[in-house]
Amino acid sequence: MSRRLVITADDLGREPATTQVITELLAEGNLSATTLIPVSPDAADAAERVRALGIAPRLHVTLTGERGLPRWRPLSGAMSLVESDGAFADDPFVLQRHGDAADVVREADAQLAWMRGFGLAPEAADSHAGTVYGLHGRSWLKETLEWCQSHGLAFRLPRDAEPYFGGQLPSPLAQAHEQAVALADALGVRIPQTIATNRRTASDLGSYERLRDDYRRRLANLPEGTSEIFLHPSRDGAVAGPDGIVRVWEARLLRDPAWHAALEAEAVEVAGDWWA
């Protein structure tokens, strides 16, 4: 079995600068996939841009907002998912305290319908900020996987979670993950072999070269089957704080000849999906 890798940019539509960078990288062939935030004011422009490229983004189910941006609001009007002003909370832990499973499914339905209304046909979904996975308290994985089955969607749930977490999962989390993978298989929801992304800040990394070396290490450790690396490339100034620096570095990485040489040296086949 060969090693295949989907190279995905998350957060298409987050704001204009990120949308521009992602669509440029897609047009250059430096990305093989992207995910769209339907609740953003820039979502319609982003949808038009990728449709012009002949690319169908995945649905980035979004249940929280982001600091420094205009407040995002649900497309479904689901009241348990919002704060007193009717907008999503910026903090996933706030969402977990009051979010209702039925409203999560209702909002996912609305976001999928929005994409289809733009002539986009996503074949898979995932979760912005990881809100449905239970990483911030309550898990909506069961409801999300059942929702994916009902719409014939694949879902970003790694069969092997250790590369993402950087080691063995703690016992309660390992058990929950095992159950979720078993449920995905029982429902026929397709999932990737593993997933990986950068989870460190600019201060933790110290330099662009450290980020590049870390991603090259991840390439070397990819298992057989189809995996996914997801990044958040953007432009300087588009994302406030240290996260913004890392996003600029990730855009640089995707154009770096050393990164492309590593893909070739590792004999990793770049793919557009992990569900075919």
pLDDT of residue 144: 98
Residue 276 is assigned to a structural domain of this protein: no
Type of residue found at 153: L
Spatial distance between the Cα atoms of 23 and 174, rounded to a whole number of angstroms: 36
Is 11:35 a contact under the CB 8 Å cutoff? yes
pLDDT of residue 1: 64
Type of residue found at 201: T
Q: Find the mean pLDDT for residues 124-134.
A: 95
| Torsional sign, CA 176, 181, 182, 186 | positive
Is 25:251 a contact under the CB 8 Å cutoff? yes
pLDDT digits (tens, 9 = 90+) for 74-91: 999 999 999 999 999 999
pLDDT tier, 117 (very low <50, low <70, confident <90, very high otherwise): very high
Please provide the average confidence, as pLDDT, over all residues in the chain.
96
pTM to 2 decimal places: 0.97
Q: Find the mean pLDDT for residues 191-208.
A: 97
Is 41:70 a contact under the CB 8 Å cutoff? yes
- CATH code for position 20: 3.20.20.370
Is 16:234 a contact under the CB 8 Å cutoff? no
Residue 21 is assigned to a structural domain of this protein: yes
pLDDT digits (tens, 9 = 90+) for 23-76: 999 999 999 999 999 999 999 999 999 999 999 999 999 999 999 999 999 999
pLDDT of residue 64: 97
- The alpha carbon of residue 222 and the mean position of all alpha carbons in its chain are separated, in whole angstroms, by 18
* Backbone conformation region of residue 128, classed left if phi is above 0, alpha if psi is from -120 to 50, else beta: beta
- The structural domain count of the chain equals 1
- The alpha carbon of residue 253 and the mean position of all alpha carbons in its chain are separated, in whole angstroms, by 18
Residue 200 is assigned to a structural domain of this protein: yes
pLDDT of residue 241: 83
Q: What percent of the chain has pLDDT over 90?
A: 93
Q: Find the mean pLDDT for residues 149-173.
A: 94
pLDDT digits (tens, 9 = 90+) for 201-253: 999 999 999 999 999 999 999 999 999 999 999 999 999 888 899 999 999 99
Give me the domain span that covers residue 53: 3-271
Q: Find the mean pLDDT for residues 169-178.
A: 90
94 pLDDT more than 80:
yes
Residue 141 is assigned to a structural domain of this protein: yes
DSSP assignments along the chain, one per residue? --EEEEEEEEEETSSHHHHHHHHHHHHHTS-SEEEE-TTSTTHHHHHHHHHHTT--PEEEE--S--TTSPPP--SS--GGGB-TTSSB-S-HHHHHHH--HHHHHHHHHHHHHHHHHTT----EEEEGGGTTTTTTS---HHHHHHHHHHHT-EE---SB-HHHHTSPPPHHHHHHHHHHHHHHHHHT----SBEE-----HHHH-SHHHHHHHHHHHHHTPPSEEEEEEE----TTTS-SHHHHHHHHHHHHHT-HHHHHHHHHTTPEEES-S--
